[in-house]
């Protein structure tokens, strides 16, 4: 038996990432089975109801209210968790990456009051329920501010209208559902501590931007700006409006000498538009449109099939990748990813190695996951189907650990492939959780191959995370693509190779 309780905070707003961290902290409490803190929008209430976490107390919650929902083994434990949530909210902090507190504030009297407090600001980061994000973005654009929209569930027609408005004003709209940006050395949302440098990044993908920025850092290169544009920007409906605007901005930026553009496959028409614009750029450009057929290099324009290749091309340096021993195995590869773009890159690498791959988010040429009862399969656990009512696996890797334990014990699985993404916003020790799952699985389980997206300057530290994994017997490759190649070659060879 378990008990579900809700508490409603009227007229209270806090950043969604901070709320997820508080929920994660509550979930570690005595007797707590599930915990969630969500703004009371209709879509969020539907999520809570689907998960069995909504009670009559919060049925009439509005979009400017906060719902605290807890499932625990007893009523006393549930109410203790509610009080713990209140303390965290009142104290203004919740556990952050590396165990450091992360500030949580209510809105400062609205947009006008926030702008009055920071009159020199030129960028607004919007993280409100998707139903209201477009309104706040319009206010910011009207005041001459660039906009980053962390919020998701923004209607497509609103995105198109906002980006057209921004284009006419010479401003950027990053997003909606923009999880990562690096502006003038400042990491926004999920991002890594990388050095400043001469490479500008335009990315429709958060983890794609993170992987390339970190590979550049490992190669001794830095990033001038990393501009996220949102996953739908290169769709036919949006037409790459902000990708083109970001190319314009980086071409005009004096600190940017080279540019890389990252995306999953855009629509064919937008692909040609972006290629044509990149070819006209006065600065060298590398296009990495995952899953799209790369064209022949033209002048200063190059094409890359993987994120790893894009980082090498734009840096002009070979990414240092260590030799790893790869014992021969028989069976299937199971990939469990927190980054959708990293999952897509792994699919491309495995297909290039001659393996048929199924996935819940396939690139061209890959099967849908439901089509393959047996065989190699990769899952993006950050997809909506897995994050309904619970934090993204970069914030709370617990969901992936459940899948990991099953994969390690599954008959026929030869190797398990993982990504580990660290940095601001991410879990303080994802490698530690993976190591614990590997230990819990016991002996005679499938080997694990992983990569770590991050740097030593991140709160979790690349070196510490890699060492934790290695101590648990995990093979650690220096890039996501190298991890996928290592997994593929474990099925064929038993000698050390450059991976």
pLDDT at 416: 95
- Which phi and psi (to 5°) does residue 286 adopt? -115, 125
- Give the model's confidence band at 327: pLDDT under 50 very low, under 70 low, under 90 confident, else very high: low
Considering only residues 108 and 66, tell me which one the structure prediction assigns the higher pLDDT. 66
> Which contiguous run of DSSP H or E holds residue 384?
helix 384-387
Q: For residue 59, give the nearest of 46, 70, 50, 78 by alpha carbon.
A: 46
What crossing angle do the helices spanning 307-315 and 206-218 adopt, rounded to 10°?
A: 50
pLDDT at 164: 98
- Give the model's confidence band at 296: pLDDT under 50 very low, under 70 low, under 90 confident, else very high: confident
What's CA 435's distance to the chain center, in Å? 21
Considering only residues 372 and 448, tell me which one the structure prediction assigns the higher pLDDT. 448
Strand partners, 223: 199
Return the structure tokens found at 332.
């299937």
Q: Between vectors from CA 171 to CA 307 and to CA 130, what angle results, nearest 5°? A: 75
Residue 97 has pLDDT above 90, yes or no: no
Average pLDDT score over the chain: 88
245-249, 306-310, 442-446, 449-453: lowest mean pLDDT where?
442-446
Q: For residue 154, give the nearest of 129, 172, 186 by alpha carbon.
A: 129
Global pTM value = 0.84
Return the structure tokens found at 85.
């949530």
Return the structure tokens found at 128.
């409100």
- Give the model's confidence band at 94: pLDDT under 50 very low, under 70 low, under 90 confident, else very high: very low
Considering only residues 43 and 271, tell me which one the structure prediction assigns the higher pLDDT. 271
- Give the model's confidence band at 202: pLDDT under 50 very low, under 70 low, under 90 confident, else very high: very high
Cβ-proximal residues to 118 (8 Å cutoff; 6+ apart), any chain? none
User: What domains are defined for the chain?
Assistant: 3-95 (3.30.1360), 122-177 (3.40.50.720), 186-317 (3.40.50.261), 323-498 (3.40.50.261)
CA–CA separation, 371 and 105 (whole Å): 46
pLDDT at 106: 42
Residue 210 has pLDDT above 60, yes or no: yes
Q: Spell out the SS3 assignment of 185-234.
A: CEEEECECCCCEEEEEEEECCHHHHHHHHHHHHHCCCCEEEEEECCCCCC
Residue 133 has pLDDT above 80, yes or no: yes
- Report for 17-31, 239-253, 261-275, 373-387: range of highest mean pLDDT: 239-253
Q: What are the pLDDT digits (tens) for 40-90?
A: 888 788 888 988 999 999 999 988 899 999 999 999 999 999 999 999 998
pLDDT at 137: 95
Strand partners, 303: 287
pLDDT at 25: 86
pLDDT at 321: 52
């Amino acid at each position: 038996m378990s008990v579900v309780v809700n508490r409603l905070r009227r007229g209270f707003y806090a950043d969604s990432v901070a709320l997820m961290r508080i929920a994660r902290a509550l979930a570690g409490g005595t007797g707590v089975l599930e915990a969630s803190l969500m703004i009371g929008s209709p879509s969020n209430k539907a999520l809570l109801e689907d998960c069995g976490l909504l009670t009559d107390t919060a049925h009439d919650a509005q979009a400017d209210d906060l719902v605290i929902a807890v499932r625990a083994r007893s009523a006393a434990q549930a109410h203790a968790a509610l009080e713990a949530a209140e303390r965290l909210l009142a104290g203004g902090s919740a556990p952050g990456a590396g165990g450091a507190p992360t500030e949580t504030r209510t809105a400062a009297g609205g947009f006008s009051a926030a702008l009055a407090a920071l009159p020199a600001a030129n960028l607004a980061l919007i993280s409100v329920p998707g139903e209201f994000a477009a309104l706040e973005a319009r206010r910011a654009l009207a005041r001459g501010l660039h906009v980053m929209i962390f919020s998701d569930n923004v209607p497509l027609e609103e995105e198109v209208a906002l980006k057209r408005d921004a284009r006419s004003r010479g401003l950027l709209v990053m997003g909606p559902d923009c999880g990562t940006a690096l502006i003038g050395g400042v990491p926004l949302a999920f991002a890594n501590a990388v050095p400043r440098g001469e490479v500008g990044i335009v990315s429709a993908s958060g983890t794609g931007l993170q992987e390339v920025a970190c590979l550049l850092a490992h190669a001794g290169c830095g990033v001038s700006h990393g501009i996220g544009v949102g996953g739908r920007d290169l769709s036919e409906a949006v037409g790459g409006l902000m990708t083109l605007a970001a190319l314009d901005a980086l071409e005009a930026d004096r600190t940017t000498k080279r540019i890389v553009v990252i995306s999953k496959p855009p629509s064919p028409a937008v692909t040609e538009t972006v290629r044509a614009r990149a070819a006209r750029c006065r600065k060298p450009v590398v296009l990495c449109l995952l899953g799209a057929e790369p064209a022949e290099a033209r002048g200063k324009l190059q094409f890359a099939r993987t994120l790893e290749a894009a980082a090498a091309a734009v840096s002009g340096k070979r990414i240092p990748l260590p030799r790893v021993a790869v014992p021969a195995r028989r069976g299937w590869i199971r990939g469990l990813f927190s980054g959708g773009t990293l999952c897509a890159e792994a699919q491309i690498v495995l297909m290039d190695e001659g393996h048929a791959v199924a996935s819940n988010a396939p690139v061209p040429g890959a099967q849908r996951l439901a089509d393959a009862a047996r065989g190699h399969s990769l899952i993006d656990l950050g997809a909506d189907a897995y994050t309904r009512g619970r934090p993204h696996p970069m914030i709370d890797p617990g969901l992936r650990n459940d899948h990991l334990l099953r994969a390690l014990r599954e008959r026929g699985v030869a190797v398990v492939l993982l990504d580990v993404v660290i940095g601001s916003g991410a879990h303080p020790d994802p490698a530690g959780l993976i190591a614990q799952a590997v230990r819990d699985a016991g002996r005679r389980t499938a080997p694990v191959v992983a990569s770590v997206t991050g740097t030593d300057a991140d709160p979790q530290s690349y070196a510490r995370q890699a060492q934790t994994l290695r101590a648990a017997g995990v093979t650690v490759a220096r890039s996501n693509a190298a991890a996928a190649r290592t997994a593929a070659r474990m099925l064929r060879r038993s000698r050390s190779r450059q991976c």
